[in-house]
A and B are shown apart, each in its own frame.
Chain A
Amino acid sequence: MTEYVVKRLLIFIPTLLAITFITFLISHLAPGDPTELKVGVSQESMRTDAKSNLNQEAKNYYKQKWGLDKPIYTQYAIWLWNMVRGDFGTSFVDNRPVLDKIVERIPTTLSISIFVIFLEYIIAIPIGIFSAARQYSFWDRASTVILFVLYSLPSFWIATMCIVFLANVEYLKIFPTSGLSTLGSETWPFIERAWDRIQHLILPIACYAYASFAFLSRQMRGSMLEVIRQDYIRTARAKGLTEKTVILKHALRNSLIPIITLLGTILPALVGGSVIIETIFSIPGVGQLAFQAIIARDYPLIMAELVMSALLTVFGLLVVDILYAYVDPRIAFSKKTG
């Protein structure tokens, strides 16, 4: 077991190197120049004596300061060395340490993602079980159709529709329009403040979660169907156990194994956030920050976000592998004789 974990962790190193090197190349070689955005005339406005080369000198100064004048592999080596020491650099845009910028936004994104994942599982898994237990019934087909329709509706559209129809005095004003809290709510008593925050989060969470319902419930249905056909289920039924016990006790546990695999992708999603949902609902989360970083060619910030999600993906996969061993003793990590 320990040996396996160590081995896996060692394999991470080349994986991570490859991921960061490729993303470093892509982000730095993509068209667009951060020094131009810094020095350039931001609002297409006027200069006095553009004849001089002060502008070019200022650009060179930033190139030098940010190390962009060096060959790309040297830049990567420097970045890597700093990263290993835990220094992700400062943002080109406002000179704040990129870690501060990300950490400041993680609680917001995390609080949404936790709910989203919880909601996805709490709804999708029962639907999957139900569909499998009553295969080809009316409800099975209906839920399949509904979930696939939901799955194919783009979330930016659903989110906009939700705002226009559910958060609008013109139609129904059930939810707040956008943001995280009502202006001036900081002086309210705690209960009211919490309630205000919950109201603000309902629509984003719903819009974020619905698309995964179809995917997850189909996974659940598939693995459940496979289990139901097994001999031991037939035995259980023959014993005269109720259908409820058979499905929820004997079949469910075994059919959950494939669902665990999906947990691996959750970890990065937890702190990754969603660009679309965060932008439409004006939620200052990590996804929005990543998007702004790309627009501004803020290389240190782009790289920090990428490293974070790469690390979490790799780590998530490891956790999944370990969980497997506990759920299913047949899966072994080391070669055992016999």
Chain B
Amino acid sequence: MKTSKLFSTRFLFLALTSITIVLFLSSCGSKRLEDSLIIREMADAEKLNPTVSNDASASEIDSYIYETLSYVDNVTYDLIPYVAELPTESPNHLSYTYNLRKNVKFSDGHELTGEDVIFSLKAIKNLYADDAALRNYFEMIKSAELVNGDKYTVKFNLTKPYWRSMYTLGLFAIMPKHILDPEGLNDKIKFEELENYETAKGNPNIQKYADFLNSPDVSRNPKYVIGSGPYKLQDWKTGQEIRLVRNDNYWYSATIPENPKFIIFKTVNDNSAALVGAKNKDVDAMFVIPPADFYKNLENPDQFALAKAKPVEPTYSYLTYNEKNILFQDKKVRMALAYLVDRNTIIEKILYNDATPIQSHIFYKNTKYLNDQLPPIPYDPEKAKKMLSEAGWKMNDQGVLEKVIDGKKTEFKFTFLSNNNSVRKQIILVVIDAMKKVGIQAGLQDLEWSVYLDKTKKHEFDATYASWQLSVTPEDPYQIWHSSQAEGQGSNIESFINKTSDSLIEAYRVESDEAKRIELLKKWQQLIYDEQPYTFLWSAKSRYIYDTRINNVKWYDKAPSPQYNEWQVPKLLGAVQNPK
């Protein structure tokens, strides 16, 4: 008897203590920072130097710290002047000359000049720097120089004419030379030496400078992370938060008087925890990744003083079939497969009605370049059946389509590859089901992301569901559609090889007249539509939520949609004072 008494009093004690703790805890109110905007990031950035960083979080954060020569207009998508006037193009289209503004300063007060621009280009073109992905864009940019020694005039020289260079040159981040290359190592590096690994070997300064640029401190220490933008890096707590503070010396500040003092990028890895964080006011704005969180778990945002926004970012989804597989070599078959995708039902049932069906590779909001004469392909299994039988496919005893190809009886069986994404999986299953009804047997294989990437790049797949993230600037289809990109590990994963498409793309790339260029691109879109290497699916809307106390909230149909430095945070009663 005594023991039971002993334990029961202990348990009673424990229970009482825990109740007290709980009550004490719940009495603590949440404290909110004054004059700051807290944005959720799913993963911490890896590096913040704009040249060597290669992750999505970093490029978003860098857009507030660093600036570029030109800017893409939020609405018209045209290039507009920024740090420099729009460039003048030489008659042979081989050089672009920029006149820089004279009042642009880095956040440490140092003036931004052509020297910084040239230095930044050299850093990008440095073959040993960790920016291989970015460097690809600059292959055709041969060199840069000051015109007549004027530090406000920079001329870029190209190896061959390419009208899209204006975007490449206008949109790279300008880094401060006096901070990132105080010894002037880059002055001892010539552009010719940066052409390839062979020429680079001759100059030890190239490796020496790359080692410095790649060093972790350059990408993490606020001493080195300095740009001319409206914000500067104040503090970075690994895996927790990156805090930007308003640059009070900002040269362009007259236009944005009320921007928040702090923009804090807070890492919240888990999606459900992030949504709860928004409800709790731990986070002011975020992109909601799982559709269910946006539509179901936050049905009534007013209740939490939250609001929803659904801008369209230039991205689209598609199904594609590997043309190395004999099943998919006939364009009639590919067209028939397109008729088997019930896009409207999928959009309604799985995507909560927030996607727009598309027919072309070009971003549908970019009306100038889009060929809008392409009729939508409806869900029509009967028509698909007819097309398949016209292509020679006959139903066998097992209810599977069959055809004799190269003297061999072939059944219509293949596998979709997917990358562990539940929404994608759901969609593929709907498509598989529709295919089954006409006698096509498709399976599904789920793979981890890097394995998936590896398999698709090596063309080791039958069919897959994927997406492209595009930019709003005029598209160059070369990388995804040219037949040269089907070799090796290019982005033409489906091995679409078509001479007419190639010649249209090639002509488009060198055509300097915009009207003619648009003509060529529209023709090309018609051709792709007829060939159906992709079943173009839809452009889904982005899902953002934000706190209703914030004023001047704007959304643009470009990526990333919000520009948080425009948002205004009203004074908050009872807010906690900021450090410093």
Given the known interface contacts A42-B55, A173-B26, A297-B450, the answer about A94 and B216 at a Cβ–Cβ threshold of 8 Å is: yes
Chain A nearest CB: distance from B223 CB in Å? 16
Task: Chain A residues near B449: list those with CB within 8 A.
Answer: 295
Shortest CB distance B109–A (Å) = 27
Smallest CB-CB separation from A51: which chain B residue?
B484
Known A-B contacts A46-B476, A170-B279; the reply to A164 vs B272 at CB < 8 A is yes
Query: Is B240 a contact of A284 with CB atoms below 8 Å?
Result: yes
How many residues of chain A are within 8 Å of chain B by beta carbon? 75
Q: Which residues of A contact B175 (CB under 8 A)?
A: none
Least CB distance, A97 to chain B, in whole angstroms: 8
Asked if A164 and B276 make an inter-chain contact with CB atoms under 8 angstroms apart, the answer reads: yes
Q: Is A61 an interface residue (CB 8 A)?
A: yes
Task: State how many angstroms separate the Cβ of A223 from the closest Cβ of chain B.
Answer: 18
Within 8 A of A (CB), among B450-485: 450-451, 453-455, 457, 466-471, 475-476, 478-480, 484-485
Return the contact of A94 from the options B128, B219, B485 (Cβ within 8 A): B219
Is there an interface contact between A243 and B279, defined as CB atoms closer than 8 Å? Answer: no
CB-CB contacts below 8 Å: A103-154 with B: 104-105, 126, 130, 133-134
A334 at the interface (CB under 8 A from B): no
Does chain B have a CB within 8 A of A234?
Answer: no
* Size band of the interface chain B makes with A: 35 or more
Min C-beta distance of B224 to chain A, whole Å? 14
Interface string of A175-218 (1 = CB under 8 A from B): 11111111110110000000000010010000000000000000
B28 interfacial contact with A, CB 8 Å? yes
Q: Is the interface of A mostly helix, strand, loop or mixed?
A: loop
Indicate if the CB atoms of B453 and A40 lie closer than 8 Å. yes
- Whether A169 and B279, one on each chain, are in contact in the complex, defined by CB atoms closer than 8 angstroms, is yes
Q: Name the interface residues of A52-77: CB closer than 8 Å to any CB of B.
A: 52, 54-59, 61-62
CA distance A168 to B281 in the complex (A): 10
Specify which of B168, B240, B470, B475 is in contact with A179 (CB 8 Å cutoff).
Answer: B240
Give the CA-CA distance A167 to B455 in the complex, in Å.
Answer: 42
Q: Are A134 and B485 in contact (CB under 8 A)?
A: no
**Does any Cβ of B come within 8 Å of A47's Cβ?**
yes
Bound complex: CA A41 to CA B135 (Å): 11
* Most chain A Cβ neighbours within 10 Å, of B237, B266, B280: B280
Q: Are B22 and A174 in contact (CB under 8 A)?
A: yes
Residues of A within 8 A of B3 (CB): 133-134, 243-244, 247
> Out of A45, A54, A282, which one reaches B270, CB within 8 Å?
A282
Alpha-carbon separation in the docked complex, A44 to B132 (Å): 14
**A39 partner, pick from B7, B33, B133, B277, beta carbons under 8 A:** B133
Say how far A183's CB is from chain B's closest CB, in angstroms.
6
Q: Which residue of A lies closest to B54 (CB)?
A: A42
Contacts of B273 in A (CB 8 A): 160, 163, 177-178, 280-282
7 extra interchain contacts, Cβ-Cβ under 8 A, other than A44-B468, A243-B2?
A: A31-B451, A45-B469, A46-B471, A46-B475, A130-B7, A160-B273, A163-B270
* Chain A interface residues (CB < 8 Å from chain B): 31-33, 36-52, 54-59, 61-62, 93-96, 104-105, 126, 130, 133-134, 160, 163-164, 167-170, 172-184, 186-187, 199, 202, 242-244, 247, 279-284, 288, 295, 297
Pairs across A and B, CB under 8 Å, 13 listed: A31-B455, A36-B489, A41-B133, A44-B467, A49-B139, A57-B196, A61-B128, A177-B268, A179-B240, A182-B31, A183-B38, A183-B266, A295-B449
